[in-house]
């Protein structure tokens, strides 16, 4: 049995980016339908913490959900250094005229706040809806999906892919750069935690980041794929000792470590973020290395700018070539600059080339001594290239 439906905007992927887009469109009068492949009980179950920029906090404020998010830890200072080398830079919110530089919070807390706001506004949100096909046609998009064993067909003026982009990998393959690295993530406690302070330490095997959260830190430890798998097998005592050896003494000894997991790091970039009556959003458009914390924040900016492009056009122009071109132009600078910035950091700092070591040290020292340069970098990290 097949059932047919129609809507103005179909959002494929009910994660935070897809939900943020739906909320940004509330009150527009458009018929919006969100399809999420995971079951309701698993939709917000990602165990990882998120690092949000101050700019993302402002967007979530505009969506009316920021104050409903639980367990948020602020970042007021970011300490940047490199192992076995001189040079360091410190970014402080107080010097940049913002209350915080960013925030650390659990994925489920953000997802739940967005989901509750969506339900309060009566926007259609269907879980357990696995999309099997997306066709971009001249007069709209056609989506086939399975739900409770029934095949459904949903036609829309505009389809937004916000689920990671696997749906279009065969027909529109992304450009992929494998950094040869994996990120191990976990929660740790330490002897001398520094409230509101995040650490980014560059090493030859990749960056290690400590993001303040609750009683300790969310750790993101970058290593080769093989090393990361070995690190998962270490007992807790070995892991904590090796982390202290790798990171240094800035927060004292490491005391406890939580459940560890790891994932490969790649730059994954769609050649084009728009197709006829279709937009790729967030991780479907680009997946970035976590070194600069830009990926998820860029996805939220994608969602906000797409909503503005849709609100600015006439209903009959929704999904048209003109509307899609306006959106693409609005995101081009921020997207390209964010990708180049993140990729450049990985290539510059994740190696042991002696000729680059002195340049890295000089770059960090100059950044720390030049207030305008520091403000420029911090603004890019908080708000993206569009400011």
For 73-126, the pLDDT digits (tens) are 999 999 998 887 777 889 999 999 999 999 999 999 999 999 999 998 889 999
- DSSP label of 353: -
Helix (H), strand (E) at residue 138: none
In angstroms, the CA 46 to CA 16 distance is: 11
Report the share of the chain in percent with pLDDT over 90: 74
In angstroms, the CA 378 to CA 296 distance is: 17
In a domain, 282, yes or no: yes
**Sign of the torsion formed by the C-alpha atoms of 347, 350, 353 and 356:** positive
- Based on the structure, what is the number of domains in the chain? 1
In angstroms, the CA 345 to CA 276 distance is: 34
Average pLDDT over residues 317-345: 94
Whether the pLDDT of residue 71 is over 80: the answer is yes
In angstroms, the CA 47 to CA 246 distance is: 25
In a domain, 31, yes or no: yes
In angstroms, the CA 273 to CA 283 distance is: 11
In a domain, 379, yes or no: no
Q: Residue 44: pLDDT band by 50, 70, 90 thresholds?
A: low
Whether the pLDDT of residue 354 is over 80: the answer is no
Exposure of 126 by Cβ count < 10 A (0-12 exposed, 13-18 middle, 19+ buried)?
middle
Whether the pLDDT of residue 58 is over 90: the answer is yes
In a domain, 138, yes or no: yes
**β-strand 88-92 against 32-36: which pairing, if any?**
unpaired
Degrees, nearest 5: CA angle 92-288-130: 125
Q: 131: which strand partners?
A: 145
Q: In this structure, what CATH number is given to the domain that contains residue 19?
A: 3.50.50.60
Whether the pLDDT of residue 217 is over 80: the answer is yes
* Domain boundaries, position 170: 2-47+105-174+268-349
Say what the pLDDT of residue 86 is.
75
Say what the pLDDT of residue 60 is.
98
Residue 358 tokens read as: 């002195």
In a domain, 292, yes or no: yes
In a domain, 27, yes or no: yes
Q: Residue 182: pLDDT band by 50, 70, 90 thresholds?
A: very high
The lowest-confidence range among 129-143, 267-281, 369-383 is 369-383
In angstroms, the CA 118 to CA 121 distance is: 5
In a domain, 135, yes or no: yes
In a domain, 189, yes or no: no
Say what the pLDDT of residue 43 is.
63
């Amino acid at each position: 049995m097949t059932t047919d439906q129609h809507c103005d905007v179909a959002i494929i992927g009910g994660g935070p980016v897809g939900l943020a887009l739906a909320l940004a469109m509330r009150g527009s009068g458009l018929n919006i339908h969100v399809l999420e492949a995971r079951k309701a009980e698993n939709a917000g179950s990602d165990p990882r913490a998120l690092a949000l920029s101050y700019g993302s906090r402002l967007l979530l404020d505009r969506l009316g959900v920021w104050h409903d998010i639980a367990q948020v830890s602020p970042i007021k200072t970011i300490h940047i250094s490199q192992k076995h080398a001189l040079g360091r830079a410190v970014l402080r919110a107080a010097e940049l005229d913002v209350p915080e530089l960013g925030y650390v919070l659990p994925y489920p807390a953000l997802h739940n706040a967005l989901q509750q706001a969506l339900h309060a506004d009566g926007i259609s949100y269907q879980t357990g809806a696995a999309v099997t096909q997306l066709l971009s046609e001249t007069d709209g998009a056609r989506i086939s999906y399975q739900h409770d064993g029934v095949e459904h067909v949903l036609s829309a003026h505009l389809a937004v892919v916000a689920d990671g982009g696997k749906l279009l990998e065969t027909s529109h393959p992304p450009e992929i750069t494998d950094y040869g690295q994996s990120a191990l993530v976990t929660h740790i406690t330490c002897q001398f935690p520094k409230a509101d302070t995040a650490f980014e330490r560059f090493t030859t095997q990749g960056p290690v980041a400590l993001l303040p959260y609750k009683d300790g830190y969310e750790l993101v430890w970058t290593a080769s794929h093989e090393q990361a798998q070995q690190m998962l097998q270490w007992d807790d005592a070995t892991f904590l000792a090796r982390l202290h050896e790798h990171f240094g003494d800035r927060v004292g000894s490491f005391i406890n470590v939580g459940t560890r997991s790891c994932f490969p790091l790649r730059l994954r970039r769609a050649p084009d973020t728009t197709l006829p009556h279709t937009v790729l959003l967030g991780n479907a458009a680009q997946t970035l290395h976590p070194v600069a914390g830009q990926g998820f924040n860029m996805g939220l900016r994608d969602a906000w700018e797409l909503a503005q492009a849709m609100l600015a056009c006439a209903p009959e122009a929704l999904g048209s070539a003109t509307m899609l071109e306006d959106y693409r132009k609005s995101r081009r600078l921020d997207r390209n600059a964010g990708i180049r910035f993140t990729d450049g950091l990985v290539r510059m700092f994740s190696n042991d080339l002696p000729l680059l070591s002195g340049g890295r040290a000089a770059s960090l020292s100059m950044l720390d001594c030049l207030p305008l340069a520091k403000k420029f970098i911090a603004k890019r990290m908080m708000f993206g290239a569009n400011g």
